Amino acid sequence: MQGKSVQAHLVGKVAEILEAVSSAEWVGEAAGRLSVVAARARAAVVVPAVKAAVALCLAMSVILVVEKLSMAAVSMLVKILKRKPEKVYEWRPISEDVEMGGSLAYPMVLVQIPMYNEKEVYHLSIGAACALEWPSDRLIVQVLDDSTDPAIQDLVQIECQRWLAKGVNIYYKTRDSRKGYKAGALKEGMDQDYVKKCDYVAIFDADHQPPTDFLVRTVPFLVRNPKIALVQARWKFVNVNDCIMTRIQEMSLNYHFKVEQESGSSLVAFFGFNGTAGIWRIQALMDAEGWKERTTVEDMDLAVRATLKGWKFVYVGDLKVKSELPSTYTAYRYQQHRWACGPANLCRKMAFDIIKAKNVPVWKKFYLIYNFFFARRLVSYNVTFLFYCVVIPTSCFFPEVEIPRWGVIYVPTIITLLNSFTTPRSIHLILIWVFFENVMSLHRFIAVYVGLFEAGRVNEWVVTEKLGDTLNAQPVVDGRKRFHKFWKRFHFLELGIGVFLLLCASYDLTCRSTQYFVYIYPLSLSFFIMGVGYVGRIMPEA
């Protein structure tokens, strides 16, 4: 019996071994089949998809570079031919008329200052507005305070009373709710009885400080040219040297003002209103149905509706209004989300209105839809992130995919040089600008589709944090809170993209010979640096 037991045990062991061998063979066979399926899927689906993405990005790159070259050409011609607005349009200074009773020759001007919990800067804009060179009986200053902090409301009201005691016609207005945000405040401000006697309205955000001659230089355009609705001034940044991030913002915004706004004003008498540092003809504002609360770019919305009514805009590039740049990364991200999401959402809402608009030339409709919205607000944000942060790095894993040299090198070089020429003093920062803009393109890309599909954050309005006089103070970090603040500064989306780019660059270095790793490694590092919050000014409360 014992011999039979041993024999049965041996038979069982042999059966187990044979089963294990057959199982291993099955696993190996399954793995081989999966490998074949994966190879076929790669050849039939993945590689064609990557090639299609490359072709799409190359097409968008051509659209973008042509748009930028054309704008730069117009802007350069304006400078070469010295076509200043004062030469293009009738402009003569306004002077007192004895027969009309002195100051009656000057039109009534309303100055609106919308603000929201602007503790650090409220006094700057109010003081600058009250110091404008204009007859005191022909100027009304209106402070629209949506602050939710009673202490800040008291400070703003005291400042208004101080200027009122000096003889300035200044009105303080607050609301029970922030309905419509800035657009809602401006709209309600225009409904006041004392506004009805005004001809023009100048708008300055709480951190903007107009020069004393702002009205003297802008109002004559409106008085002498009845078809002009808006005169826009340029921004001058008071904190541009605060950190590398503000220097980089200066490069991007200088391009916006010197090229985009200049070319639009000179070519088609249209550009997007910047929401501040501009003065409107109230008749044109009302003709365009006033302020609307449907997007977070109420300024651009008003500008598009006004131009569809036949009104013209003028950009005065040598008139500069002091303003503040976001100096913390969080504030900058919120601002850029609004600036990318809003135009995309407005395009969705107004595309058919532009097409159906009467009394608007076809060429101007084309300019609005293709140049203003499609090329600059949709293609630009898509190609920057998709091509340079996704498609090019992903192509490292696919030897079958080839990207032409002009798409990888020449086009981005042209775009980079065009931006650098507008800020010569910062040309040594151009590479930092490239990588910083690529990281920010991630958020702009997301924001565009939030706007197009009206997703969750489409109407999010976070007021850009201003630091005002605190910019001159060195932040003191409490050591007990340092660890907590360090974790609060983490941005995991940037860190995730950084890991992906690191893998792409390493694979390209070890397994490929495209040399893309020379670009992808520093791009990956940029995502890591910004992902851990080591960019911009780090405030104790940030």
Q: Which residues pair with 292 in a beta bridge?
A: none
**DSSP per residue over 39-56, as a string?**
HHHIIIIIHHHHHHHHHH
**DSSP per residue over 380-447, as a string?**
HHHHHHIIIIIIHHHGGG-TT----HIIIIIHHHHHHHHHHHT-GGGGGGHHHHHHHHHHHHHHHHHH
Structure tokens at 167: 């003889």
Catalytic residue among 145, 242, 299, 301: 299
User: Exposure pattern of 180-205 as b/e (b: 16+ CB <10 Å)?
Assistant: bbbbbbbbbbbeeeebeebbbbbbbb
User: Distances in Å between the alpha carbon of 350 and those of 304, 363, 451?
Assistant: 9, 17, 13
Residues 6 or more apart whose Cβ sits within 8 Å of residue 108:
138, 139, 140, 197, 198, 199, 200
What is the radius of gyration, based on Cα positions, of the chain? Answer: 30
Q: What sign for the dihedral angle of Cα 174, 175, 177, 178?
A: negative
Structure tokens at 44: 């039939």
Q: Report the chain's terminal Cα–Cα distance, integer Å.
A: 83
Active site residue 242: no
Residue at token pair 């020069």: 211
Catalytic residue among 146, 205, 207, 242: 146
Active site residue 154: no
Q: What are phi and psi of 313, to 5 degrees?
A: -120, 150
Catalytic residues: 146, 299
